[in-house]
Amino acid sequence: MAPKLTTEADIRIGGRVKAAREAARMSQSDLARILGVSFQQVQKYERGRNRLCVSRLQVIANQLGLTVADFYDDPAPVPPRKLSVSEAREALEAAAKAYAKALEREALPSWMSEAA
């Protein structure tokens, strides 16, 4: 069986892992110890030469205070679904209440909003 080839997505995800690791001021050796692999293996993940399984990506995300989704591209936007009249009315009423509360908060003197 031929090995699975890495893709552009593997390279992008690996680059994001590297950027997040560096932002957390964590060395490749530290991350390798956490994952139970060599620092060379971490280098391969970060360069996109080896694929990262989702369970390892979850461990990395947890250690760096991120979510797995943070390493992936943003999904394509989902077009909003059409609302029924009653759903639109409920949404409008909820928005009006939120707007009124925001106006009340902004109308309060700053010393009152700090105490709230």
Q: Domain residues of the chain, as ranges?
A: 8-71, 85-115
The pLDDT value recorded for residue 110 is 62
Q: Is the pLDDT of residue 39 over 60?
A: yes
Mean pLDDT across 52-77: 91
Helix H or strand E segment including 12: helix 8-23
- Say if residues 67 and 61 touch (Cβ distance below 8 Å): yes
Query: What's the rounded Cα separation, in Å, for the pair 35 and 12?
Result: 20
Query: What's the rounded Cα separation, in Å, for the pair 21 and 27?
Result: 7
Helices (H) and strands (E) in the chain, counts: 6, 0
The pLDDT value recorded for residue 79 is 79
- Say if residues 17 and 51 touch (Cβ distance below 8 Å): no
Structure confidence by residue, pLDDT tens digits, 66-105: 999 999 988 777 777 888 999 999 999 999 999 999 888 8
State if pTM tops 0.95. Answer: no
Q: How confident is the model at residue 111 (pLDDT cuts 50, 70, 90)?
A: low
Assign domain 8-71 to its CATH architecture. Answer: Orthogonal Bundle (1.10)
